[in-house]
A and B are shown apart, each in its own frame.
Chain A
Amino acid sequence: MKATSAALAQHIDQECTTLAMCVKLILTKYQPAILRIYQVNPCVVETLWAHDYIDGDTIRIVGVRGPTALNNQEFTILRLNNYQFQINVDASGFPAYEGKGEARKVIAFTQFVRDLTLDF
């Protein structure tokens, strides 16, 4: 049995009923492979095939060789074109990209009645 966290215990003690469950899915299959990561600010990511992302989509970067600081980080993106998008990070000082990266789509849902924007 998992241990109940202190935060949850406090919440229950106060008999609050404002908890909503959230689910975040990070897709892992058939996700756009990264062809290039430009060392610019904001960072530009170029994918091997059309990524289909739109402004505001969230992606998680994984598997990158070179600028490894990007790995397992999540970013909302600004679409530049079918193959490129910007992420909110200054990559001008990062090492050169050496391959193997993926830009995985992140989608999220909440049980709450309205959309919620959370810090990833």
Chain B
Amino acid sequence: MALLTVKQAGGGDHTTIATALAAIGTTPGAGADDIVEVYNGTYLEGILNTLPSGTSWDHPFILRVAAGNTATIRKTGENNIRVYEPTSLAFFSSIDDFIFDGVNLTNDQVSFSAADSSPSSIRLRNPEFINTNNYNAIYVGTFCDDIRIEAPHIHGGDFIGVGNAAGRAHGIYLTGSNCIIEDFHIHDIPGFGVHQYSQHFPLPSNNIIRRGRVHNVGTESHIAAGVLVDSGTGTKVYQVVSYDNLGKDGDGGVGFVIKGAGNQGFNLTAYGNSFIGIDAQGSRSALIKNNIAFNNGQDTDFTGANGNGAPVALDQSNNLIGVDPLFTNPGAGDFTLQAGSPAIDIGTPIDGLAYTGAAPDAGAHERGLATLPVIDIIVTPNPIPPGGSGTVEWDTDGDTVDIPGVGDGLAPTGTAPLPPGQSLVTVQAHNVNGSSIAQQAVGEFAAGLLYRATVGYMPRSIKAGADLSVDNLEIEGLMVDKVRALAQGLLIQGLSNEDLQVGRFDHAKAEIFFVNYENPESRLILPGSGNIGQMKMKRGTYVAELRGKTIYLQQTIGDLYSKLCRAQIGDDITDYRVSGFGCHVRLDPPFWRSLQNYTVRPLYDAAKGSVVKPNVYNGRQFRCSVAGISGFTEPNWNLTIGATTVDEFGGTAEWITEQAMTVFGSVTQAWNKRFFKDAARNEPAVTGLGVNTGTAQYAIRALDQGAKWFEVDGDIASYFTTGTTFTINGSIGNDGTYTTTIASFTGDRTRITVSESIPDEEISGAITAPLTIPTGFFSYGKLTFLTGLNKGISKEVQDFKLAKYTIVDVDDGAKLFMVEGDQTAFFSVGQQFPVTNSTGNDGSYDIVSVTYNMGDDVTEIEVAQAIPDATVDGDILSGPGDFELFERMPFEIAEGDEYVVSAGCDWSKEMCKQKFDNIRNRRAEDEIPGMDIANLSPDRPTA
């Protein structure tokens, strides 16, 4: 161990910090147990990749200000401290008690990490940051891990960031993982206090932000938060007060933003923020508990759907919202609770947080706990792997602790290994006022797979042949119906009648083996494996038929010539030996990522080049049009289809906007298990596809002699305009020609009312009508419900139709189309829609504005493109979109059910070319002759 002193005026080992650090060097671990102590002075030097390292937190390197001294680091140039080399090194270095002055800097005061480096295990203790004029006070980069920032005091400066604007940088910009920010005080800065956000992988996760005060931040930002956690997972924010944040205009201050999957905000106090106290809008499974939000512009926002259109599953409770919590003196920043506060004992226990009384208090300050010991514990790793061991790290303010299984009377701060098998670590600390307890649940991955002793399933027979016959095995009793199982106390976890009815067990892979239960390790002999085929009821129990692997040898596998494409849409099989190989259409492309090389997606071939989707769903995907590298940050996407987005922020790639092939939505009306509507769905079909050709027979499903109507399945109402005649054939007594009075779609069937009488009441025969060819964007696509009774179940879309709005007026000078009534709910600015059946205006248009003209009772749709023809005719296709599924969902579809649906393909050449631009991967032989041609005999030669 070495102790080196730095005194500017001489008398120490060194006069500059740089020479002291150089004496130790940057060889990994060279600074273990070494200390460099700095004495009074302003040091016009920085620490730029010269930080020595220790070997563990028990043997760290420490750079600190000597007791009783004040030392300021004020470099001119980029950073006061920058650490990114050696890359991927765990430094175990601590920098303590300095003042960092950014008055002469052009970038972050302290910066950890560069684009692809990952320094970890660096600690800043008791730093003060002043005059942060450019970028952030502290920047923690994407790949950083275990950065510990203890008791920082950050205030003052311009924080000029992106766009050379003040307020675009932040007190602490956190994009690393497994970091701790605690006991912080951030105030009077133009940007956010703590800002955890990144679009780059790995996303910032599992950070702890606790015990802090943030106020009067965002003074140059229109909207600014005291603490923002908006990406990654597993970050916890607790015991933080965020107050009096007003924003630049006095109405944009937010106390906390807690978003992103699985992030947590608890025991927070939000007070006097001009916009929102706690904003969890759109959070997905975030936990918001034990908080106080009072006297904010809007105390909370817990509404909205997340970026994927998936449901909100916010876990929020035990909060005190909009009720005066009787703070002691909020005007002076004292947010402790007075006696009688409605926040007392309304909380729910949180792992690791001590409390007094019957239950924890809401808010950042537990009443009555101030004089009791405060304990911090960290268990690593958490969860502990099977058979592995963990350690507990604890820290109190000088109080001795007892840890069952570890020891009693332990030092106030320390680390110790945990005995195996612990599920709950308990740390108890004592002082003259009493004791307090903190607990941390320790998740543990279960070892191995649990084979449940079921009610005695009976493998009826195992037959395996060498003649490629099917290996058959019926497993009886494996699936017990729920009622019977409950009656016998034999409910099998994970199985239900619903699962069986839905078909979740169909085609399940099955592996069967023997085990010597006296010595389970000495298994295994495999008598059979394969797939579940049929599941049937027999003698009150389910019987599963197992199909052996050799069944595949009895099936025809291989390519045959065909007129229709043999590929499955969206597959990316490249093995020519597999039937149907190679569609390659990117139905669900990967997320855009930073600093990646992207290549041009060429014409005609979806197998090549790059297509990405945004990290926050916006209904679009983007095909690379100019090869290059992506930027540090995701670009601001141009959402107009066909427009170009340049990968800004340091990137060179360029992208063309396309309609997303996979979209999210929710049901706004459902008629039955096959038909439903989404009012927000308005993707038009690809122009030029789906010409209706030929005729088809539609079986009559119902009739009413008195009302004079017939009904047929599906929606073919558009073929029966008033006055249209049609024929009925094959009926018992109604064959003949009829004239349409009116036709309408009833949600399941088309009802055609006729002017002639219907002579026979028997339901028989068929109506001849044009052949319908589904052309909607999602026709033949796969639709999966994300919520509701049908969650996780997929069916194919038979047809997807948009509503048709007849154009009732055109103003070509003002570029207006007008449709009848108030249809503003179904048109939106930026939307593209097609016009069809017009004299001269067929084509695609972009909406500039939508207005309902009450006087004329029309909706005026202003478009960006010129309207070439003033003739008033034609139709506009727009939302709501109607879905018709090929098969019924097993359960009722309900309003509000969320779904995801992908574009479909009808295997035709036209669709492959026009919709997917993928003709080079078409797996069909369009020109082969049909059977009739193939069987023709040549004409007899003439003499």
Contacts and interface: CB of A to CB of B under 8 A. Distances in A.
Interface in B377-395: 381, 383, 385-386
A26 to B, nearest CB: 4
B261 A118 contact: no
Given A40-B202, A84-B261, A50 B478 contact: no
A7 B525 contact: yes
A49 B475 contact: no
Contacts of A39: 201-202
A23 B507 contact: no
A98 B590 contact: yes
Interface in A57-104: 57-58, 65-66, 74-78, 80-84, 86-88, 92, 96-100
A108 B786 contact: no
Most buried by B among A7, A40, A46: A40
A113 B201 contact: no
Given A1-B464, A50-B313, A38 B202 contact: yes
A37 to B, nearest CB: 10
B920 interface: no
Interface in B440-486: 443, 445-454, 456-457, 459, 464-466, 475, 478
B792 A31 contact: yes
Contact of B512 (A21, A44, A55, A106): A21
B206 A88 contact: no
Interface residues of A, number: 77
B520 interface: yes
Contacts, number: 245
B284 A109 contact: no
Nearest to A16: B516
A31 B793 CA distance: 8
A76 B522 CA distance: 22
A2 to B, nearest CB: 5
B261 A40 contact: no
A113 B310 contact: no
Contacts of A50: 313, 786-787, 791
> Chain B's interface: helix, strand, loop or mixed, by majority?
loop
A82 B509 contact: no
Contact of B513 (A21, A26, A46, A82): A21
B495 A99 contact: no
B557 to A, nearest CB: 19
B451 to A, nearest CB: 4
A83 B234 contact: no
B288 to A, nearest CB: 12
Contact of B449 (A21, A106, A112): A106
Given A28-B509, A40-B205, A56-B446, A48 B520 contact: no
Interface residues of B, number: 85
B900 A108 contact: no
Given A29-B503, A58-B449, A84-B285, A1 B202 contact: no
Contact of A76 (B446, B457, B791): B446
A49 B786 contact: yes
B515 A26 contact: no
Given A23-B457, A49-B792, A109-B478, A83 B512 contact: no
A42 B383 contact: yes
Given A39-B202, A50-B787, A92-B202, A19 B449 contact: no
Most buried by B among A2, A66, A106: A2
Interface in B490-506: 492-495, 502-506
Contact of A109 (B381, B452, B502, B523): B452
B869 to A, nearest CB: 45
A58 B508 CA distance: 15
A13 interface: no
Interface string A1-31: 1101101100100001011111111111111
A107 B591 CA distance: 32
A1 B465 contact: yes
Given A18-B518, A84-B285, A109 B451 contact: yes
A25 B495 CA distance: 11
A109 B493 CA distance: 11
A107 B495 contact: yes
B443 A55 contact: yes
B460 to A, nearest CB: 12
A33 B102 CA distance: 48
B514 A8 contact: yes
Contact of B590 (A16, A56, A99, A107): A99
A42 B202 CA distance: 13
B456 A108 contact: no
25 contacts: A21-B513, A23-B511, A24-B512, A25-B509, A26-B509, A27-B508, A28-B506, A30-B794, A32-B792, A38-B232, A39-B201, A40-B206, A48-B310, A48-B784, A49-B310, A49-B787, A56-B450, A92-B202, A108-B450, A110-B454, A112-B453, A117-B520, A118-B520, A119-B448, A120-B448
Given A88-B445, A114-B453, 12 more contacts: A2-B464, A7-B525, A28-B531, A38-B202, A48-B786, A50-B791, A81-B315, A106-B449, A109-B457, A110-B515, A118-B515, A119-B521
Closest 7 CB pairs of A and B: A81-B285, A98-B590, A39-B202, A110-B451, A49-B786, A76-B446, A88-B445
